[in-house]
Amino acid sequence: MLLRISAAVFSAFIVVFAGAVSLSAAENPVVGVVNGYEIRLSEVKDAQTRLPQQYRKIPFNDIFSGLVDSLVDSRLAAADARSQKLHEDQEFKDAMARIGEQVLQRMVLSRIIKGSITEADLKARYAEFAKETAGSEQVHARHILVEAEDTAKGIIEKLDKGGDFAELAKKNSTGPSASSGGDLGLFGKGQMVPAFEAAAFKLKKGEYTKAAVKTQFGWHIIKVEDRKSAGPPSYEEVKDTIRNELSEQAGTDYIKRLRSAAKITKFNPDGSPLNGPGEGAKPAAK
């Protein structure tokens, strides 16, 4: 699979990166040359990380050629813009100043976060998480989804007479799980719409709802195949998620500290003063 990233998509998500890592030529080979300018593997990998989520999920080897082409296009367009002296325009200088502010923000936040989160912090937060999720329950359920309540009642009558739930789901359900006999697999609380969840978690293993359950999708007949207590995921499984959570909190705390020490005055969209002091504003000295 060869994928060429459009210039619009590529340029919209590529941001100047602060702080390059020193790599040897073997680790960072030249993967393209355009008018004498070398494109290194590290540039391509960096470009991939700045694409929209749906592109980042594509295997690197599949998207590699498209990324190189996009970097070539970017270099050619930038060179042509310089030949037209667009880099001397005030518009360009203003844009670069804004990008510079963003890069500095990224750099300082990166260093603050790196210096404030330790392995001990991650494990401590995991211990809290494990305690919070201990003893949570999951159910393994099937369902039959139909449009009309009368249809659901007729299916329940067949179940009461010994009908096979999975076969009735295959024949009658309008949901995407019909081909698998209505099998929804295991799920915990908070994963289904409220009415469906409430009904499913009231059932014992082997039971099905004696009255159809109404949701925005239609009428459901639910059968619980199994119930089990779900232990927390392992530390390694959630380590990155916890790191992101703590990183976000560290960044938020850092900005709060800056705001608390700053004099900030904000205005209405028309430039007129807001009523009362601005956010974080300190009273004037007397």
33-63 pLDDT tens trace: 999 999 999 999 999 988 887 788 889 999 9
Residue 196 near residue 214 (C-beta atoms within 8 A): no
1-20: average pLDDT: 42
Domain spans of the chain, in order of start? 7-84, 117-134+241-286, 136-230
| Residue whose entry in the numeric block shows the structure tokens 């990324």 | 67
Closest CA to 48 of 23, 25, 26, 31: 31
State the DSSP code for 270.
T
Determine what percent of the chain is predicted with pLDDT higher than 70. Answer: 87
Per-residue pLDDT tens over the stretch 107-161: 999 999 888 899 999 999 999 988 877 767 889 999 999 999 999 999 999 999 9
What is the C-alpha radius of gyration for the chain, rounded to an integer number of angstroms?
Answer: 29
Q: What is the CATH code for 136-230?
A: 3.10.50.40
* Percent of residues, the chain, with pLDDT higher than 90: 66
CB-based contacts of 265, cutoff 8 Å, min separation 6: 277, 278, 281
Q: Are 186 and 138 in contact (CB under 8 A)?
A: yes
Q: Is the per-residue pLDDT at 172 higher than 80? A: yes
pTM above 0.85, yes or no: no
Amino acid found at 185: G
